[in-house]
Structure 1
Amino acid sequence: MAMTTSAHVDTFTRDHLPPASTWPALEFTLPELQYPEQLNAAAVLIDDAAAQFGGGRPALLTPDGTVWTYAELQRRSNQAAQVLTEDFGVLPGNRVMLRGPNNPWLVAAWLGVLKAGAVVVTTMPMLRAAEVATLIRLTRPVLAVSDHRFTEDLVLAAEREPVAVLGYGGTDEADFVQRCAAKSGTFTNVETAADDVAILGPTSGTTGDPKVTMHFHRDILAIADTFGRHILQPSPEDVFAGSPPIAFTFGLGGLVVFPLRFGASALLTERAAPVELAENAADAGASILFTAPTAYRAILKAGRGELLSRLRIAVSAGEHLPRETWQAVYDATGVRLVNGIGATEMLHVFISATGEDSRPGTTGKAVPGFRAAILDDDGVELGPNQPGRLAVVGPTGCRYLDDPRQSKYVWNGWNVTGDTFVQDEDGYFVYQSRSDDMIVSSGYNIGAPEVEAAINQHPDVLENAVVGRPDPERGTVVCAFVVLREGVEADAAKRKEIQDFVKHTIAPYKYPRDIRFVEELPRNPSGKLQHFRLRQYLESENNQLADAAATQA
């Protein structure tokens, strides 16, 4: 597909797209996916939405009662674009890094970056300085805008990889919010091309640097016009809520793109403990909830299933949804969880089902606008009930920023996700396992090698290996097999010390909840570490526990 004329003055992203020959096939099979050549996603999501649905409609809500209308969000996003361009000289195509919890100003800044024709790089506030520095090195932002409570690691990162840092929400006169207040709120959007890069989305890579996915302005609308439109079928009366950070594409879709595309409102919660999330959602009259299976189980275990019973749709994604969890939620609330699988490479969910079309134990069917298949190791499509690699094609697809790993994700035009599935006779896809080193715990993607590297920095650790251990509550937990240096006591105190060390080295959610001290790690004759043997050991242990529990029952 020939690319259109870019509006970017800074051509970094287009210059670093992967070679066109390595792109997946792109298909725009639905009428709603026919976008004009010139398209600014922010203009559609806030300007067009305010005009179509009314500026007085609520757009963003918070648990403390704050309400931003569409007109207010439009004005503040325009002010954000003014600050970026007038005060900091941000040019179309420049990258702007955002860092903060889910709150209205993060959304305003996100829209403002796109309005200015720049490229958004949204990062999670839990990331530590070293992780942020890596993302700065990869994406080369000209400015980083951060919630004032989360600037410390960003400032430390900027000492390694220089970037200007601007806080928001503080009391400093130079604060981003203070600067916005001094602006008129009138801004002429940059007329970006539909295939200009709009967002760079880092993945939780399993090896080395994280991969950075590249998504166009049209991609942002495409996820709304496929999964959003056809599975969720939202109306302006809907209130969206959820736990995923906006820095995750799952959260970006569910809490920003989908509600704004359809004139609905979104409840933004900075803290997302499961019961608290459910309480806040119920208080706000939420009708659509996005969270992981872990959270649904926690809500039921707390005896608060009634908080879910008023939902129109409850979406479960981020990790495998067991049949037992689906059934437990349905039995307690009457709500049929909407299962789904997505990927940062695809931007959002591409297999799902809702209502009477959903089947417990399956992920669903290809979302309208997408095609999916099961491939063998040679790329040949398999028949029903044969396990293989999940592959998908649609209006979005994998494009890594200047990364040779592009060829590993895209196979003969297919996006190959790294998941093993089977497809039954009725076309439903059934999850089997992950086929790479990613650990998915409570909806968070955690790269095992990154955790290994953090543990190895501890002065008492000789070497370690990290794998995922099956867990009934979190789906999987990070399990580390650790070899200590000679003379160090392998006890509970040392275990906690290493866990705390990891929490202060990388994002805390990545720390190993299970640490096993061992004398040596399994290796093959050439000395290569054999992670698969550790996985087999944990799987056998898990099966033995299950058998023992069944015998006692």
Structure 2
Amino acid sequence: MKREPHQPERTEEDIALAADAPWLSIPEVVAHVDELKRIYSDPLLDVASVLCDRYPAENTAFVLVDSDVNATRLSYGQLQDESKRLAASLHARGVRAGDRVAVLMGKRRELPISLLAIWRIGAVYVPLFTAFAGPAVEMRARDAKAVLIITEPGQRHKAEGLGIDVLETGTDFDALASGESLFEPNVAVGGEAPIIQIYTSGTTGTPKAVGVPARAIASFISYMHYGLDVLESDVHWNAADPGWAYGLYFGIVGPLAIGRANILLQAGFSAELTEKVIEQLGVTNFAAAPTVYRSLKANGTSLKSPLRRASSAGEPLTPDVTSWAPEALGCAVRDQFGQTEHGMVIVNAWHPVLQSEPKPGAMGQALPGYVAGTVGRHITLSVKESPLMWFTGYVDAPDKTRERFTPDGSWYDTGDVGRHNDGDFFFASRDDDVILAAGYRIGPFDIESIIAQHADVAEVAVVGRPDELRGEVVEAFVVLTDGSAGTDELRVSLQQMVRNQYGAHAYPRRIHFVGELPKTPSGKVQRFLLRRPDYVQITR
């Protein structure tokens, strides 16, 4: 057939190949997906009602655990009452529907109360990760035009001096959450309205804002049900931090959406403490980043009470973990794949109706509600054939949005390189240099921008390099200015700059002082060479 003159010739990079989506062949799953889409696309959707108010007051919403593994429960009744009172107080303070309210706090009791209060008003929640340094907090709060920051005593200093109203947990917060007024009725924002504004890692510039609409709850439910197979009889623990997408979508919103309690550990991570929580609370359904599993393996963990389900997200699982887990944990660890822009979309499903033996190295198959494929080398999602797909673009960033979709708008490009075979997807590499360290997605540009501020630094390139425990670690290659010396003191100074200006989770564990950076003739840094474990030895 003759091609129209205005149509360019298609190259291999343009060819879209959809993968089989097994869920489409199961009528009851298709019907469930259709029903989820219908319910959560309702223009009169009341978010606080579907996440809280519809459940029996005596049921447990969250189990709060301290460093001594003392557990207290937050019931749906308590969550409803205190969030209604806090919402009334916030409304009296001037917070209105559509306003952005940032929350900078750890996994404490006040976190879900704050979120439900924000959603009752119809406002939008902006998560701020507690490991962020002040400048990273400021960038997100200012970009979101937040009218209020809710925080805790140990984090308040990061919110000071921004010209934004601050509410701190403690006496003032407790007084608002126990006030006499109840905010009623809830503002029904509908399925299309944003309820969350979360920021990506910023791989090639400043982080991008993702507006999460209320209808995304349908996708989160699909993952909780089919991906994780969370049952009423389970003791569920998603150990991820709610300051990031996986912990927020599937440790806060997802459990509330299906009425299943999640554990919120109010302590820093250690393999010993993680094992104690699993054993003493009888956890049966566990989800965490590969770093957690690697740490448990390194610590010699062998559970006395086996897990029923174990799932991993954030970065690809390594074979040493998958071979270790069945005997040590009592079940296999299943790999899952997703992004801030979508939640989880490709899974080794645990639900019996979709469960099959995972293929070695495979991330799994399309989650019910999604159809995935490849365009050229890139893993993609079909816009038309994915009824639960909710991402339509970044907030106020049309150019960045266009980069994520094919020219005809029919496929979303994940930016990850991979392939599929008989419906299973296999990850190959990232196309955008993002570093996946201990489950966190870190943008090299942010770290390079900080290090380059130092007077002794002429050039810098940051990459992720393999690490047995963390999956990847941040490493920096630094070219010094004339007359400067690559001392241990300078290494510590550069690391501290990143800690102070970005966050402790992202500082370069190793800094290499090199004579030059490998570049193409056009001057672009050849990062693939820097990622080679023997690169420093080659240059010496």
The one-letter code matched in structure 1 to 2:269 is A
CA deviation profile, 1:355-384 (whole Å, cap 9, x unmatched): 5443332110001111000111xxxxxxxx
Q: 285, 288, 293: which one pairs with 2:285? A: 288
Q: Residue in 2 aligned with 1:113? A: 118
Contact persistence 2:63–2:73 (CA under 8 A):
yes
Q: 393, 400, 408: which one pairs with 1:405? A: 400
Q: Residue in 2 aligned with 1:219? A: 216
Contact persistence 1:362–1:429 (CA under 8 A):
yes
Name the SS for the 1:533 alignment partner.
helix
Name the SS for the 2:391 alignment partner.
coil
* Residue pairs, 1:469-548, within 5 angstroms: 469-535=465-531, 537-538=532-533
Q: CA deviation at 1:82?
A: 1.2
Contact persistence 1:275–1:298 (CA under 8 A):
no
Q: CA deviation at 1:542?
A: 11
- The share of aligned pairs that are identical, in percent, is 31
CA distance in 2, matches of 1:430, 1:523: 30
- More deviation in 524-533 or 332-341? 524-533
Q: Residue in 2 aligned with 1:74? A: 80
Contact persistence 1:254–1:290 (CA under 8 A):
no
2:179 is the alignment partner of 1:145: no
The one-letter code matched in structure 1 to 2:225 is R
CA distance in 1, matches of 2:175, 2:198: 28
2:57 is the alignment partner of 1:60: no
Contact persistence 2:378–2:415 (CA under 8 A):
no
2:418 is the alignment partner of 1:421: yes
Contact persistence 2:199–2:209 (CA under 8 A):
yes
The one-letter code matched in structure 2 to 1:503 is R
The one-letter code matched in structure 1 to 2:143 is L
CA deviation profile, 1:172-216 (whole Å, cap 9, x unmatched): xxx222221223445310011211111111110112210001111
Query: Is the alpha carbon distance of 1:362 and 1:527 closer, same or farther for their aligned partners in structure 2, counting shifts above 3 Å?
Result: closer
Name the SS for the 1:68 alignment partner.
strand
Structure 2 residue ranges without an equivalent (≥5) = 1-29
Name the SS for the 1:410 alignment partner.
coil
- More deviation in 113-122 or 181-190? 181-190
Name the SS for the 1:373 alignment partner.
strand
* Residue pairs, 1:306-345, within 5 angstroms: 306=303, 309-345=305-341
Name the SS for the 1:528 alignment partner.
coil
Q: CA deviation at 1:310?
A: 2.5
Q: 169, 173, 178: which one pairs with 1:176? A: 173
TM-score (norm 2): 0.86
* Residue pairs, 1:424-443, within 5 angstroms: 424=421, 426-443=422-439
CA distance in 2, matches of 1:182, 1:29: 40
- More deviation in 235-244 or 72-81? 235-244
Structure 1 residue ranges without an equivalent (≥5) = 1-26, 377-386, 544-553
Contact persistence 2:86–2:178 (CA under 8 A):
no
TM-score (norm 1): 0.84
Contact persistence 1:242–1:277 (CA under 8 A):
no
Q: 254, 258, 266: which one pairs with 1:258? A: 254
Query: Is the alpha carbon distance of 1:258 and 1:528 closer, same or farther for their aligned partners in structure 2, counting shifts above 3 Å?
Result: closer
- More deviation in 29-38 or 447-456? 29-38
Name the SS for the 1:364 alignment partner.
strand
CA distance in 2, matches of 1:247, 1:472: 25
Superposed CA RMSD: 2.2
Q: CA deviation at 1:432?
A: 0.9
Name the SS for the 2:474 alignment partner.
strand
CA distance in 2, matches of 1:347, 1:328: 27
Q: CA deviation at 1:69?
A: 1.1
2:19 is the alignment partner of 1:32: no
CA distance in 2, matches of 1:31, 1:540: 53
CA distance in 1, matches of 2:196, 2:78: 23
Q: 103, 108, 112: which one pairs with 2:108? A: 103
Contact persistence 2:60–2:261 (CA under 8 A):
yes
2:233 is the alignment partner of 1:232: no
Query: Is the alpha carbon distance of 1:363 and 1:68 closer, same or farther for their aligned partners in structure 2, counting shifts above 3 Å?
Result: same
Contact persistence 1:235–1:263 (CA under 8 A):
no
2:199 is the alignment partner of 1:195: no
Count of residues in Structure 1 that have an aligned counterpart in Structure 2:
490
CA deviation profile, 1:36-78 (whole Å, cap 9, x unmatched): 2211222101011x2xxx2112221122322111111111221
Query: Is the alpha carbon distance of 1:242 and 1:81 closer, same or farther for their aligned partners in structure 2, counting shifts above 3 Å?
Result: same
The one-letter code matched in structure 1 to 2:405 is V
Q: CA deviation at 1:541?
A: 7.8
The one-letter code matched in structure 1 to 2:37 is L
CA distance in 2, matches of 1:484, 1:132: 30
CA distance in 2, matches of 1:306, 1:281: 8
Contact persistence 1:128–1:505 (CA under 8 A):
yes
CA distance in 1, matches of 2:534, 2:331: 32
Contact persistence 1:353–1:363 (CA under 8 A):
no
Q: Residue in 2 aligned with 1:90? A: 95
Query: Is the alpha carbon distance of 1:461 and 1:541 closer, same or farther for their aligned partners in structure 2, counting shifts above 3 Å?
Result: closer
The one-letter code matched in structure 2 to 1:176 is F
Q: Residue in 1 aligned with 2:368? A: 368
CA deviation profile, 1:260-307 (whole Å, cap 9, x unmatched): 222221110132333322322332222222211111011122112216
Query: Is the alpha carbon distance of 1:282 and 1:258 closer, same or farther for their aligned partners in structure 2, counting shifts above 3 Å?
Result: farther
